């Protein structure tokens, strides 16, 4: 638990998510990775945790943490989940990796009463700098891969996401732009966020 | 110590005979026993018939805890038996059928859990089956043995578990036909089971798999030595038919990529084709060898009865849907399938997982990337070991 709290001091995104999620709620984490976030939420917020993950090694990590996780590819949509089956659906650093982000977001807000989505921000100044002055595909802390080995199929900016939510009728309750710095820590960026934040957490709700 | 615990917990009404023998392999603490029941009041079978007496051959590993809450029941597949791990004697060539998974420090850790495994009803490795003597006629039952189902197997196991004084199972687990038994167990006795590990299994067999089973049965039945099932004690046994059934079975347990990796197109002895109908390819000699070896340890009639039980199995029969068929379940689930298993394909596990999830049951699922087809569940694999180990650690 100490370790978890120490991690939270650094991870502003996790802290924000923790504050947002209500105690005892049903939470689905899509692309839950090794289950760290769900595990933390389960310990601190006593949530009912459900995870979806595609990678078998990560599934084994989740199972070792006592989480229930199902191997699943979000590209198939969530046809077997009922509308508003969860209080919260988390889509952390996954949206940019699916074939159809529009369909994925619609599914997420359909099965969840509320959704938490985090994406890397391509509007970050370093991305703009790399592209404009160096003429090279940006590589940043939030987008660490080369163009040829990146799992990210899409690049988008905070503004793009705002416009997109407007278009599909999803309300953004809260925007938390973040800048990752040395170590695992992050800080919240309140001014000129589309330029200064390298990724962003959005709290969503269907209108 | 363990014998004391077992003996003390026996209930006199249900048990007519009980014996255990000390066995080799101290580390595993293997105990063998035979439990006999249904002598006076016979066991009602799913078919409507009644049957008894029934002897169940079983083995236990590890030590039952004082609160009797650390028992895990392992359920074997078509050709398995009660001997799941270790060796009985130093001279034994082979270890139990799931030795990679059961033992000290292994996923089914015998230092922590009390592992029970019994031979299924209808089998031929100590439990009453077609090759057993009918006490009325003093002859083997042969085809007078009643047709049995997965449910009947579970009822026999339930009687055994109860006789050991165990009311609560920490987990039940099995692959293939063993998984079917695990699913039936949790449907019939949901209050007894804390967790289920269902591996490479299904809630009902595909018509393709039924078709393969039927060809296997016909291979046996068409062997003149089968003699309508009446071959016990005779000079000629239906070895040819049983061996062909096993060869066919083996093909369905493997996968194309597994066979390619294991045998390729290699010839077994000579470097060139003989242009004769001999066993030339390595894959052929492998199948012949497996078929032959199988006839030394398995009864042809048991093969017929057990494959029929597998074909009949349908967890949702009597219910409107699979979801409804699992509505009573409270246990935590781990469901595993294998990418190259085309006999019990992943979509069947998906259906099970979906039905469990709809019932709000705590379920984890993973399709393990493995080459060796349906048989993958029996083989050493770090990932499934890690999954099962991690899952069992977190059962409350």
- Read off the pLDDT of residues B311-336 as tens digits, 9 standing for 90 and up: 999 999 999 999 999 999 999 999 99
Active-site pick, B76, B83, B250, B374: B374
* Of A57, A65, A68, Cβ closest to residue B363: A68
Residues B11 and B93 in one domain: yes
Chain B residue closest in CA terms to A59: B366
What predicted TM-score, i.e. pTM, was given to this entire model? 0.91
Residues B78, B306 contacting (CB under 8 angstroms)? yes
Of B263, B282, B309, the residue at which a domain comes to its end is: B309
Domains of chain B: total: 2
Q: Which residues pair with B183 in a beta bridge?
A: none
Residues B11 and B75 in one domain: yes
Residues A68, B364 contacting (CB under 8 angstroms)? yes
Q: Which residues of A touch B (CB under 8 A)?
A: 56-57, 59-60, 62-71, 80
Residues B44 and B157 in one domain: yes
Instruction: List alpha helices for A70-139, DSSP H.
Output: 101-111, 125-129
Which single residue is written with the structure tokens 């067999």? B205
- Read off the pLDDT of residues B271-306 as tens digits, 9 standing for 90 and up: 889 898 888 999 999 999 999 999 999 999 999 999
Q: Residue B323 belongs to what domain range?
A: 4-204+315-393
Residues B47 and B175 in one domain: yes
- Read off the pLDDT of residues A29-81 as tens digits, 9 standing for 90 and up: 999 999 999 999 999 999 999 999 999 999 999 999 999 999 998 888 888 89
Whether residue A59 and residue B364 make contact (CB cut-off 8 A), yes or no, is yes
Residues B323 and B293 in one domain: no
Tell me what ipTM this predicted complex has.
0.88
Provide the shortest C-alpha distance from residue B334 to chain A (in Å): 9
CATH number of the domain encompassing residue B81: 3.40.50.1820
Of B253, B278, B309, the residue at which a domain comes to its end is: B309
Q: What value does the mean pLDDT of chain B take?
A: 93
- Read off the pLDDT of residues B67-109 as tens digits, 9 standing for 90 and up: 999 999 999 999 999 999 999 988 888 999 999 999 999 999 9
Residues B296 and B376 in one domain: no
Residues B8 and B45 in one domain: yes
Residues B115 and B215 in one domain: no
Quick one: DSSP state of residue B379?
S
Of B262, B282, B309, the residue at which a domain comes to its end is: B309
Chain B residue closest in CA terms to A51: B364
* Of A64, A71, A80, Cβ closest to residue B390: A64
CB-CB neighbors (< 8 A) of B355 in chain A: none
Active site includes B40? Answer: no
In this prediction, the residues of chain A whose per-residue pLDDT falls under 50 are none
Residues B26 and B139 in one domain: yes
Residues B128 and B21 in one domain: yes
Instruction: List alpha helices for chain B, DSSP H.
Output: 2-8, 150-163, 177-188, 207-221, 239-253, 256-262, 282-297, 300-312, 322-325, 346-358, 382-393
Residues B329 and B379 in one domain: yes
Residues B220 and B197 in one domain: no
């Amino acid at each position: 638990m100490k370790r978890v709290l120490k991690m939270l001091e650094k991870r502003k995104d996790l802290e924000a998510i923790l504050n947002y999620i209500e105690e005892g709620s049903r939470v689905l984490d899509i692309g839950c990775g090794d289950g760290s976030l769900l595990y933390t939420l389960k310990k601190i917020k006593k949530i009912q945790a459900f995870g979806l993950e595609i990678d078998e090694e990560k599934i084994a990590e989740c199972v070792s943490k006592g989480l229930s996780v199902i191997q699943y590819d979000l590209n198939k949509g969530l046809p077997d989940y009922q509308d508003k089956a969860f209080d919260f659906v988390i889509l952390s650093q996954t949206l940019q990796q699916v074939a159809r982000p529009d369909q994925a977001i619609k599914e997420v807000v359909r099965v969840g009463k509320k959704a938490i989505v985090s994406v890397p921000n391509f509007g970050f100044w370093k991305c703009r700098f790399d592209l404009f002055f160096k003429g090279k595909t940006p590589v940043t802390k939030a987008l660490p891969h080369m163009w040829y080995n990146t799992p990210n199929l899409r690049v988008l900016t905070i503004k793009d996401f705002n416009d997109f939510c407007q278009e599909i009728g999803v309300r953004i309750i809260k925007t938390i732009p973040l800048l990752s710095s040395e170590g695992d820590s992050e800080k919240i960026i309140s001014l000129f966020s589309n330029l200064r934040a390298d990724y962003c957490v959005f709290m969503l709700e269907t209108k | 110590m363990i014998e004391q615990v077992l003996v003390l917990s026996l209930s006199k009404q249900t048990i007519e005979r009980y014996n255990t023998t000390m066995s080799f392999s101290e580390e595993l603490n293997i105990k063998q026993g035979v439990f006999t029941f249904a002598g006076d009041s016979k066991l009602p079978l799913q078919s409507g018939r009644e049957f008894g007496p029934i002897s169940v051959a079983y083995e236990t590993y590890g030590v039952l805890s004082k609160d009797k809450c650390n028992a895990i029941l392992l359920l074997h597949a078509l050709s398995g038996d009660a001997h799941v791990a270790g060796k009985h004697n130093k001279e034994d060539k082979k270890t139990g059928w799931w030795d990679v998974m059961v033992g000290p420090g292994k996923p089914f850790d015998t230092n922590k859990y009390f592992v029970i495994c019994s031979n299924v009803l209808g089998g031929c490795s100590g439990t009453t089956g077609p090759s057993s003597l009918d006490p009325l006629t003093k002859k083997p039952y042969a085809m007078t043995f009643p047709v049995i189902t997965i449910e009947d197997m579970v009822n026999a196991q339930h009687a055994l578990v109860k006789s050991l004084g165990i009311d609560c199972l920490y987990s039940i687990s099995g692959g293939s036909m063993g998984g079917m038994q695990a699913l039936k167990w949790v449907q019939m006795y949901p209050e007894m089971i804390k967790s289920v590990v269902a591996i490479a299994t299904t809630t009902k067999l595909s018509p393709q798999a039924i078709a393969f089973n039927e060809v296997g049965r016909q291979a046996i039945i068409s062997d003149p030595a089968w003699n309508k099932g009446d071959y016990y004690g005779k000079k000629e046994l239906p070895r040819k038919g049983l061996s062909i059934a096993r060869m066919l079975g083996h093909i369905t347990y493997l996968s194309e990529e597994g066979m390619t990796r294991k045998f390729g197109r290699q010839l077994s002895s000579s470097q060139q084709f003989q242009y004769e109908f001999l066993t030339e390819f390595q894959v052929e000699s492998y199948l012949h060898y497996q078929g032959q070896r199988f006839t030394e340890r398995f009864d042809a009639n048991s093969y017929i009865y057990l494959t029929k039980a597998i074909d009949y199995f349908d967890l949702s029969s009597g219910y409107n849907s699979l979801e409804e068929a699992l509505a009573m379940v409270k246990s935590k689930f781990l469901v595993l399938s294998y990418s190259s298993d085309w006999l019990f394909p992943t979509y069947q596990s998906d259906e099970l997982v979906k039905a469990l999830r709809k019932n709000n049951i705590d379920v984890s699922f993973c399709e393990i990337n493995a080459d060796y087809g349906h048989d993958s569940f029996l083989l050493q694999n770090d990932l499934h070991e890690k999954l099962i180990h991690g899952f069992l650690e977190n059962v409350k």
